[in-house]
Amino acid sequence: MHISDGILEPQWVLFWFAISALFIALGLRIINKRIREDPSYLPRISLIGAVVFVISVWHIPVPVTGSSSHPVGTPLAAIIIGPFATVVISAIALFFQAFVAHGGLTAMGANTFSMGIVGAFSGYLVYRLLKNISSPWFSAGMAAFIGSILTYLTTALQLALSLNPGNVMYYWKLYSIGFIPTQLPLAVAEFAFTGYAIRYISQTNAEVIDTGRGFDRFTKTALCMMFLIAGVIAAGAYMGYMSGGNMSGTDGTVEASAAPEAVSDAIGVRLMARFGEPLGFALVGITGGLVTGYFWNAWRKS
């Protein structure tokens, strides 16, 4: 979901921008309408936007595969604020992520399509289909799992369409094989996190005040699952480093195999090389917070 600059052919860059722009325009209309009806909707989408930025920019090492990948976060966002609004906040998140060498500005259309459109709408559809026949936490968990996997399958298809137009299906399978082994454990972790988050949110309306009864059985189970998954990932990452693996991101690994001659000298790459990741992330986070948090409301009104 973080295709870099210089990877896609120009016609595909324009194609994905055109599709994503349509969804963003519809999303902005829906957001403005919802804010007029309910002013509290604005801080809600701002909070969810921050959550999507953090979740989707987080490189998590994965056991055995010797690489790392990203959760998605957009299925969770789509369940809470709606899929069209999620497309908008995904585009904003991806714009700022490009400045920390996660994706590129020219690939924003493609990345918005895979993460913001496919991830959000597939997750939202799964949730709507399952919520009447299963519990909310399981419906939300499956939405996150399927949305995460489909996001990366879409990225693999985008690479195959652009780089291998003569044999798209073969290379789609090949690039998918590069993504899925690393993404699958993270999709399971996102299943647990999203299921727990939606269950907590649904209960908060009725149980705002702590009753003092402690954790119920579900909460204990969910927390144990989250700690177990985190422990397995940490142990696998440690083994990967000890065996000499650099735990590089699966996005870059697949891109390097798909387009070995492509050289990305995007602004995010230069920013990270100049300032380093900690300072670079801090600069982008502060800038993004100021733009989206402080100035957005004034710009929207004007």
User: How many angstroms separate the most distant Cα atoms in the chain?
Assistant: 63
Question: What are the pLDDT digits (tens) for 128-184?
Answer: 999 888 888 899 999 999 999 999 999 989 989 988 888 899 989 988 888 888 788
Q: Which two tokens stand for residue 106?
A: 């020219």
**How open is the CA angle 23-26-32, to the nearest 5 degrees?**
135
Per-residue pLDDT of the chain (302 residues; tens, 9 = 90+): 678 878 888 999 999 999 999 999 999 999 999 988 888 788 788 878 878 887 777 666 665 555 567 788 899 999 988 999 999 999 988 888 887 767 778 889 999 999 999 999 999 999 999 988 888 889 999 999 999 999 999 998 998 998 888 889 998 998 888 888 878 888 888 898 888 888 877 776 543 333 344 445 555 555 565 556 556 555 655 555 555 555 455 565 565 566 555 555 555 555 555 655 555 555 555 565 555 555 555 555 55
| Residue 211 half-sphere exposure toward CB, CA atoms < 13 A | 8
Contact criterion met (CB below 8 Å) for 130 and 32: no
Looking at the whole model, is its pTM more than 0.85?
no
Q: Residue 210 has what pLDDT?
A: 35
Nearest Cα to Cα of residue 143 among 181, 192, 216, 99: 192
The torsion angle over the Cα atoms of residues 236, 280, 93 and 302, rounded to 10 degrees, is 160
The predicted pLDDT at position 43 comes to 77
Give the model's pLDDT for residue 29: 94
The DSSP annotation for 6-48 comes to TSS-HHHHHHHHHHHHHHHHHHHHHHHHHHHH-TTHHHHHHHH
- HEC string for 206-238: CCCCCCCCCCCHHHHHHHHHHHHHHHHHHHHHH
φ, ψ of residue 221 to 5 degrees: the values are -65, -45
CATH annotation of 10-206+214-301: 1.10.1760.20
pLDDT at 72: 86
Query: Of how many residues is the chain composed?
Result: 302
Say how far residue 98 (Cα) sits from the centre of its chain: 13
